[in-house]
Amino acid sequence: MTDLVAQNGHDTTAARRAGLLSSGHASIAGRRPAGPSTMTVSLVIPVRNEARNIAWVLEQISDDVDEIVLVDGNSTDATVITARSYRPDIRVVAQQGTGKGDALRAGFHAATGDVIVMMDADGSMAPQEIRHFLHFLSHGYDFVKGSRFIAGGGSSDITPFRRLGNKFLLAVFNSAFDADLTDLCYGFCAFHRRYLEVMALQATGFEIEAEMTVRAMQAGLRVAEVPSMEMPRRHGKSNLRAVRDGIRVLRTVLRDHRSGVSGRVVQALAADK
């Protein structure tokens, strides 16, 4: 297993070992055994006209997840009705502004779990992978991101142009933050909700994913990557515009790099909890 990369002071061997032991653990809070797996999990899903995909996603979400927060971007199709019919317990939040970043921030704000997982609604991410993210969060990591570009991960969706763009942006990021991550613009990730405030997210568009990673690094969070397989969206059209959104990601990385790193402060706070 050479497919797990740990950052910020955690050795990769430990991450790999943890990967070998990976298993799902969280179920409904009251039935959980004592220990780190008592954490509750909110899944935040941004949706904009995903009526033909959302049922496929929701059907596969296991008991690891306690709460599903669907953030609707004024869908004009039957996304919300379909979601409610498959999961009557779903919480639907309407976003105030526009864009995926704006939607995710609204969802994070509404989430009540100890841990927040974010995942797309187009069927490009497998809900079964959620348990791998949770495993790392319950074993000492603060922020866990999916990577399509480490062993065990992959993408049958990304175009050569987007792959090149992601590579370039990742190189800028790694050099700016002295990091060794393998993916940047990917929307499958999870973190402890207690860090939401310190991340102080502002992004409105697709650059939210890069902003989250940047802020996690700046805050000194313990970051791990887990392999993730990206599939093509099942139906419908992409909302992403590669050049426009790539420029937004670049701006986000460069802007935040200038604002400095305050990691030690956050680690000290976390140690007190």
Ligand X SMILES: Nc1nc2c(ncn2[C@@H]2O[C@H](COP(=O)(O)OP(=O)(O)OP(=O)(O)O)[C@@H](O)[C@H]2O)c(=O)[nH]1
Binding site for ligand X (CB under 6 A): 46-48, 50, 71-73, 95, 98-100, 103, 120-122, 124, 157, 187, 233, 238-240
225: contact with Mg ion by CB under 5 A: no
233: contact with Mg ion by CB under 5 A: yes
Are the CB atoms for 157 and 186 separated by under 8 Å?
no
Q: How far is CA 122 from CA 46, 52, 119, in A?
A: 10, 8, 9
Q: How far is CA 154 from CA 146, 148, 151, 171, 186, in A?
A: 10, 4, 8, 19, 12
Which of 19/73 has CB closer to ligand X? 73
Which of 13/238 has CB closer to ligand X? 238
Cα–Cα distance between 150 and 4 in angstroms, integer?
7
Please choose which of ligand X, Mg ion, none residue 211 contacts, taking the beta carbon within 5 to 8 angstroms, the exact cut-off set by kind. none
Q: Which of 102, 122, 183, 207 binds Mg ion (CB under 5 A)?
A: 122
Which of 71/144 has CB closer to ligand X? 71
169 Cβ neighbours under 8 A, 6+ residues apart = 184, 185, 210, 246, 249, 250, 253
SS3 content of the chain, % helix, strand, coil (to 5): 40, 15, 45
Please choose which of Mg ion, ligand X, none residue 50 contacts, taking the beta carbon within 5 to 8 angstroms, the exact cut-off set by kind. ligand X
Please choose which of ligand X, Mg ion, none residue 73 contacts, taking the beta carbon within 5 to 8 angstroms, the exact cut-off set by kind. ligand X
Which of 72/142 has CB closer to ligand X? 72
Cα–Cα distance between 191 and 217 in angstroms, integer?
13
Which of 141/186 has CB closer to Mg ion? 186
53: contact with Mg ion by CB under 5 A: no
Are the CB atoms for 148 and 74 separated by under 8 Å?
no
What is the smallest separation between the CB atom of 100 and Mg ion, expressed in angstroms?
10
124: contact with Mg ion by CB under 5 A: yes
Helices 130-137, 12-20: inter-axial angle, 10-degree rounding: 130
Which of 15/54 has CB closer to ligand X? 54
Binding site for Mg ion (CB under 5 A): 120, 122, 124, 233
